[in-house]
Amino acid sequence: MKQSLTSKQKKVIRNQARAKSARRLARELNLELRQVEEYLSTVRPPLSKNRQALFLFMTLLIPVLFFVLLETGLRWGQYRGDTRLFVFPEEFFDGKYGFANTHFNARYFFNTTTLPGFSNDVFLAEKPDSSFRIFVMGGSTAAGYPYGFNGIFSRVTADALQDVLPGYLVEVVNIGTSAVNTYTLYDQIPEILRYEPDAIFIYAGHNEFYGALGVGSSEQFGAYPGFVRYYLKLQRFKTFMLVRDVIASISKTLSSLINSHQSPPEGGTLMQRMVQNQSITLESKTFEMGKNQFRSNLDRILKRFQEEQIPVFIGSLASNLKDQPPFISVETGQHPGADLVFRDAKRYYEQQNYEQAYSAFSLARDLDALKFRAPSVFNDIIRTSAAARNAHYVPVYESMRQASINNITGFDFMLEHLHPNRDGYFLMGKVFYEAMENTGYLGRHAIAGNKRDWQEYYDRMTLSELDEKIVWHRIRFLTTGWPFLPKRHEQGYPFNYQPQNKVDELAFQVVHSDKRWDQAKIEIAEHYIAMGYFEKAIFEYEGLIRDQPYNDSPYVYAGRLLLQVMQDFERAKSYFEKAYSLNPTSFTTRMLGSIEVNDGHYERGIRLLNEALRFNPNDAQALFNLSGAHALSGDFHAALDGLNRLEQIHPGFPGMAELRQQVEWQLRQR
């Protein structure tokens, strides 16, 4: 006969039922398991179906809540920084302008610590009705490497468009960046659409194999475009980025331990760090995957813009055929080595058989196993994709070939293997403009006669000796390392390099230290002023103005030099007018008011000088100039009042006694 539970046993079971299992309670109380379970069923009846469902829901909610809290914490802590494509900093004109955000590229570069940046192009946060807004997408060539800033092709296009569209605010925003391919372009689309583009420019394809997430890249995350595009959606979550970075870090560590000889070096150029597969032969499996990646992504990109009825202008790809030997030559069963074909091309060229030379140079480029230059088939893909999606094909490659010596592009338009020189970038800007012109400017009212001679647009690039020297240092650093040379020589450039002059010194610092380009421009301008080379200083300020038209500082620098040193009131006035329109300050209003008085425009001059005093009531120079302006306008009482105020602020101010004497004499004559 089964023994009943004692009151003490029941109490223990009730008190410890939540903390201990029925089996454990039975063992500790020396009872049968069935006895404990039967008693528990009387004091803890089974859950209803609704309560069971609620309990299951709460159980499942715990991990969800964990990830919500983790995601919130990572966002609050700015893990990987702000990865939006565009930012609108409040400290910059109260968020009036939008900029491309460098931290955006943290989405793609999880093995590379140094992130490539963007240009300084801006656009208004609130798009006005008059805006004609174009976004420029692509890799390092689209971004204007190694010039950047005023060497970007899209700024040439923007200059010409603004002239022929005077009724519009032309906003050409370049978001090209180094070491990215069509995956990045695809990922940028949702945020671009948010800011209402009127047209899109695309120049991309050279980075398809080795750009971020490409099939030959060290930043690879799969070889199937559909999968990678889905991954790009997931990495908008900070939690996913954290998991990705942890996995990448572990994989990188294991890879360096197992295959240290294959790991891309952390030092060197970004170009070198991005390469994982150094041998991608023509028609190989990896080559076909890269070609499929380019075709698939490009079609998705063009389709997305087509759905939104946004015109796309996509350029064909140009590279250095004649003067760039193949980087890696691999002979396969289907094709000869690239170096042999390149030697044949050189021989044909020397024999003046230019058509055959062109064909051989093109084949040598396609056979180059290090796929930094886009193969010929990519231009075929661009052409057919553009036609299928009603995009506008821009013949960059064809125009550059036509303008090249003997119709084979080399150092006449290229700096090294694929980045254009100044002439090359200018030509690209011209060709994109002409493509827009051929569409009738997309229906906008244009005044074609406003377009200037193309030489003027070439000059308006405002590339100074400093800019060209910066380019020289960047290209020299690039071409004295891999893949142009097997290894950078420890005693070669840039080690122990001795700058030749001040320009060279500043250029070297921009490339090899943390000195900013705009800082170097200001320093070289100050150097020129000290040396008496005033027009050279003005040209540097003009370069800053072209890059930062929203910044009043370079206008002020140029205006002050013209007014105070060169005594060129007419030219100074235009700079101060622009500075005043951007950011009226005590100094700019005083300078502009003084110029107006000098020109005999007393009413506006007096108004501006009074405005300067509202900024700074103790500005002695403004008070003196205002008193003089009143005297010149015939208001001698106001002039005397001003002088009395000036004497209280600054007794003995230079020229004050003489002006007082003249004013008092005029008053006595009345």
User: What is the domain-level CATH number for residue 567?
Assistant: 1.25.40.10
The answer to whether residue 75 sits within a structural domain is no
The answer to whether residue 121 sits within a structural domain is yes
User: Is the same domain home to 154 and 188?
Assistant: yes
User: Is the same domain home to 443 and 477?
Assistant: no
Give the containing element (helix H, strand E) for 123: strand 122-124
User: Is the same domain home to 352 and 376?
Assistant: no
User: Is the same domain home to 266 and 134?
Assistant: yes
User: Is the same domain home to 579 and 664?
Assistant: yes
User: Is the same domain home to 591 and 448?
Assistant: no
pLDDT at residue 265, as a whole number: 45
Report the C-alpha gap between 649 and 245 in whole angstroms. Answer: 63
Strands of the sheet containing 169-174, edge to edge, are 169-174, 131-138, 199-203, 312-315, 392-394
pLDDT at residue 443, as a whole number: 96
The residue written with tokens 């506008």 in the block is: 392
The domain boundary, picked from 459, 477, 508, lies at: 459
Residues forming beta bridges with residue 124, ordered by sequence position: 97
User: Is the same domain home to 502 and 378?
Assistant: no
Residue 133 makes CB contacts below 8 A (sequence gap 6+) with 123, 127, 171, 173, 195, 196, 197, 198, 199
The answer to whether residue 140 sits within a structural domain is yes
Report the C-alpha gap between 405 and 402 in whole angstroms. Answer: 8
pLDDT at residue 256, as a whole number: 59
User: Is the same domain home to 115 and 23?
Assistant: no
Report the C-alpha gap between 185 and 328 in whole angstroms. Answer: 28
The answer to whether residue 71 sits within a structural domain is no
Residue 326's alpha-carbon distances to 160, 316, 322, in angstroms, are 37, 21, 10
Residue 232 makes CB contacts below 8 A (sequence gap 6+) with 107, 183, 186, 187, 213
The answer to whether residue 434 sits within a structural domain is yes
User: Is the same domain home to 450 and 576?
Assistant: no
Residue 499: is the preceding peptide bond cis (ω within 30°)? no
CB atoms within 10 A of CB 519: 13
Give the number of domains in the chain. Answer: 4
Report the C-alpha gap between 50 and 40 in whole angstroms. Answer: 21
User: Is the same domain home to 24 and 96?
Assistant: no
Torsion of CA 323, 328, 333, 334, to 10 degrees: -40
The answer to whether residue 580 sits within a structural domain is yes
Question: Tokens standing for 446?
Answer: 């244009």
- Tell me how far apart the 2 most distant CA atoms of the chain are, in Å: 138
Based on its alpha-carbon atoms, the radius of gyration of the chain, rounded to whole angstroms, reads: 35
The answer to whether residue 496 sits within a structural domain is yes
The fraction of the chain above a pLDDT of 70, given in percent, is 87
pLDDT at residue 609, as a whole number: 97
pLDDT at residue 248, as a whole number: 61
Instruction: Answer yes or no: are the C-beta atoms of 512 and 494 closer than 8 Å.
Output: yes
Q: How many residues does the chain have?
A: 670
The domain boundary, picked from 424, 444, 459, lies at: 459
Parallel/antiparallel/unpaired status of strands 169-174 and 131-138: parallel
Give the angle subtended at the CA of 461 by the CAs of 459 and 467, to the nearest 5°.
110
User: Is the same domain home to 414 and 497?
Assistant: no
Counting as low any pLDDT under 70, the low residues of the chain are 1-3, 44-49, 51-52, 54-56, 64, 67, 70-71, 74, 78, 80-81, 110-115, 216-224, 226-227, 230-236, 240-245, 247-277
pLDDT at residue 503, as a whole number: 98
pLDDT at residue 151, as a whole number: 96
DSSP code of residue 565:
I
User: Is the same domain home to 552 and 568?
Assistant: yes
pLDDT at residue 626, as a whole number: 96
pTM of the model: 0.85
The answer to whether residue 67 sits within a structural domain is no
Residue 223 half-sphere exposure toward CB, CA atoms < 13 A: 12
DSSP code of residue 505:
H
Which residues constitute the domain of residue 337? 329-367
Residue 83's alpha-carbon distances to 86, 188, 235, 238, in angstroms, are 9, 11, 10, 9
User: What CATH number is attached to the domain comprising 196?
Assistant: 3.40.50.1110
The domain boundary, picked from 424, 459, 494, lies at: 459
Instruction: Answer yes or no: are the C-beta atoms of 301 and 185 closer than 8 Å.
Output: yes
